[in-house]
Structure 1
Amino acid sequence: MSRPPSSRRAALRLGGTAVAAALAVPALGSPARAADASQGGGFDPRPGSDGLGDPLFPTLGNGGYQVGHYDLTFDFTPETYDFTGRVTLRATATQDLSAFNLDTDGHTIDSVTVDGRAAAWQLSEGESGQELTVTPRRPLRRSTAFTLDIRYHGNGKAPRTGLTGWRFGSDGGFACAAQSSRADTFFPCNDHPLDKATWTFHIGAPQGYVATANGELLHRTPRPDGSTVWHFALRERMATELVGIAVVKGTYLYGSGPRGLPLRHVVPQGQEETYRPIVDRTADHLAWLEARFGRYPFSVYGCHLYDGYSDALENQTLSLLSTDWFEPDDEGRPVWETTMVHELVHQWYGDSVTPADWQQAWLNEGPAVYYAALYSEERGWSDLEEKMKATYAELDEVRAEHGPPGLPRELGGTNIYDGGALVLYALRLRLGERRFSRVMRLWPERFKDRNVTSEDFIRHTVRVTGDRSLDRFLRGWLFGAVNPPMPGRPDWKADT
Structure 2
Amino acid sequence: MIRTGILRAAVATVAATAALATAVPAQALSPHARPFDPKPGAPGAGDPLFPTLGNGGYDVRHYDLSFDFTPVTYDFTGTMKISARATQDLSSFNLDIDSLAIDAVTVDGKDAAWSVAPGSSGQELTVTPDGGLRDHRPFDVTVTYHGNGRTKPAGAPGWRHISDGGFVSAAQASRADTFAPVNDTTMDKATWTFHLTAPDGYTAGANGTATGTRPAAPGRTTRDFRLDAPMAPELLGISVARQTVLTGRGPHGITLRHLVPEDQADTYRPIVERTAGQIAWLENTLGVRYPFDTYGMQIVRDGYGDALENQTLSLFGPNWFKNAATSTTYTNVMIHELTHQWFGDSVTPTTWQSAWLNEGPAVYYAALWADRQGTASLQDKMKAAYSRLDAVRKTDGPPGLPTALGGFNIYDGAAVVLYALHQRVGQKEFDAVIASWLRKHRGGNADSQDFVDNAVRVTHDASLRPFLEDWLFSTENPPMPGHPDWV
Give the TM-score range, shorter chain. Answer: over 0.9
Do residues 321 (structure 1) and 286 (structure 2) align?
Answer: no
Aligned partner (choices 278, 283, 289) of residue 282 of structure 2: 289
2:414 is aligned with 1:420: yes
Displacement, 1:40? 6.4
Alignment partners' CA distance in 2, 1:42 and 1:224: 50
Aligned to 1:309: 304
d(CA) in 1 for partners of 2:405, 2:33 = 47
1:258 matched to 2:251? The reply is yes
- Counterpart of 1:26 in structure 2 is none
1:236 counterpart SS class: strand
Q: Is the 8 A contact 1:314 1:320 kept in 2?
A: yes
The residue aligned with 1:352 is 346
Tell me which amino acid in the other structure corresponds to 1:479. F
Question: 1 CA distance for matches of 2:376 and 2:167?
Answer: 35
Measure the CA separation in 2 of the matches of 1:208 and 1:195. Answer: 36
Number of residues paired by the alignment? 454
**TM-score calculated relative to the size of structure 2:** 0.92
Letter in 1 for 2:157: T
What SS does structure 2 have at the residue aligned with 1:52? coil
Cα distance in 2 for partners of 1:147, 1:164 equals 28
Contact 1:194 1:239 in 2 (8 A): yes
8 A contact 1:356–1:452 mirrored in 2: yes
TM-score by length of 1: 0.90
Give the counterpart letter for 1:230 in structure 2: R
Following superposition, the deviation at residue 333 of structure 1 comes to: 2.0
Q: Which moved more, 1:120-129 or 1:439-448?
A: 439-448
Q: Which entry has the higher C-alpha Rg, 1 or 2?
A: 2
Q: Is the 8 A contact 1:346 1:364 kept in 2?
A: yes
Q: How does 1:408-447 map to 2 (within 5 A)?
A: 408-447=402-441
Q: Which residue of 1 aligns with 2:382?
A: 388
Q: Per-residue CA shift, 1:353-412, capped at 9, x if unaligned?
A: 000000100000000000000001111111111111111111111111100000000000
- Contact conserved, 1:339 with 1:372, CA < 8 A, in 2? yes
Aligned to 2:458: 464
Q: How does 1:15-34 map to 2 (within 5 A)?
A: none
Question: Could you say what secondary structure the match of 2:196 adopts?
Answer: strand
Over residues 162-183 of structure 1, what are the superposed CA-to-partner deviations in whole Å (9 max), with x where a residue is unaligned? Answer: 1111001111100000000000
Contact 2:95 2:183 survives alignment (8 Å) = yes
Aligned to 1:23: none
Q: Deviations over 1:45-92 (max 9, x none)?
A: 000000011011010000000000000000001110000000000000
Contact 1:292–1:441 (CA<8 Å) still a contact in 2? no
Match of 2:48 in 1: 55
Unaligned runs of 5+ in 2: 1-31
396, 399, 402: which is aligned to 1:402? 396
Distance 2:326 2:482 in 1: 35
Quote the residue 1:19 is aligned against.
Answer: none
- Unaligned 5+ segments in structure 1 are 1-38
Q: 2:161 aligns with which of 150, 168, 180?
A: 168
SS in 2 for 1:270: helix
Q: Which residue of 1 aligns with 2:195?
A: 202
C-alpha deviations, 1:334-359, integer Å up to 9, x for none? 10101000000010010000000001
Matches within 5 A, 1:109-120: 109-120=102-113
Q: Give the Å deviation of 1:224.
A: 4.5
Q: 1:187-223 CA deviation, whole Å, 9 max, x = no partner?
A: 1110001100000000001111000001111101113
Q: In the alignment, residue 228 of structure 1 is paired with which amino acid?
A: T
The amino acid across from 1:282 in the alignment is T
2:361 matches 1:367: yes
Instruction: Please tell me whether the aligned partners of residues 96 and 123 of structure 2 are also in contact (alpha carbons under 8 angstroms).
Output: yes
Find the counterpart in structure 2 of residue 448 from structure 1.
442
Asked if the contact 1:83–1:155 (Cα under 8 Å) also holds between the matched residues in 2, the reply is yes
Q: What are the superposed Cα offsets for residues 447-481 of structure 1, whole Å, 9 maximum, x if unpaired?
A: 10110010000000000000000000000000001
Other-structure match for 1:121: 114
* Structure-1 separation of matches of 2:323 and 2:401: 36
Is the contact made by 1:406 and 1:479 (CA closer than 8 Å) also made in structure 2?
yes
How many percent of aligned residue pairs carry the same amino acid?
Answer: 57
Could you tell me how far apart the structure 2 residues matched to 1:40 and 1:249 are?
A: 57
AA matched with 2:140 = T
2:329 corresponds, among 329, 335, 340, to 335
The ranges of structure 1 where at least 4 consecutive aligned residues each deviate by more than 6 angstroms after the TM superposition are none
Residue pair 1:327, 1:334 contacting (<8 A) in 2 also: no
Q: Give the secondary-structure state (helix, strand or coil) at the position aligned to 1:163.
A: coil
- Structure 1: distance between partners of 2:363 and 2:220: 41
User: Helix, strand or coil for the counterpart of 2:295?
Assistant: coil
If asked which structure has higher relative contact order (CA below 8 Å, sep 6+), I would say 1
Say what the alpha-carbon RMSD is for the aligned residues: 1.1
For 1:365, the aligned partner's letter is E
1:265-276 to structure 2, matched below 5 A, reads 265-276=258-269
In 2, the alpha carbon distance for the partners of 1:97 and 1:371 equals: 45
Partner SS for 1:62: coil
Separation in 2, partners of 1:462, 1:454: 13
Hey, what's the Cα distance between the residues in 1 that align with 2:138 and 2:320?
45
Paired amino acid for 1:393: S
Q: Deviations over 1:434-459 (max 9, x none)?
A: 11111112211111011001000000
SS of residue paired to 2:478: coil
Counterpart Cα distance in 1 of 2:80 and 2:129 = 17
The match for 1:182 is 175
Please point out which of 464, 474, 482 is paired with 1:480.
474
Deviation at 1:309, TM superposition (A): 1.4
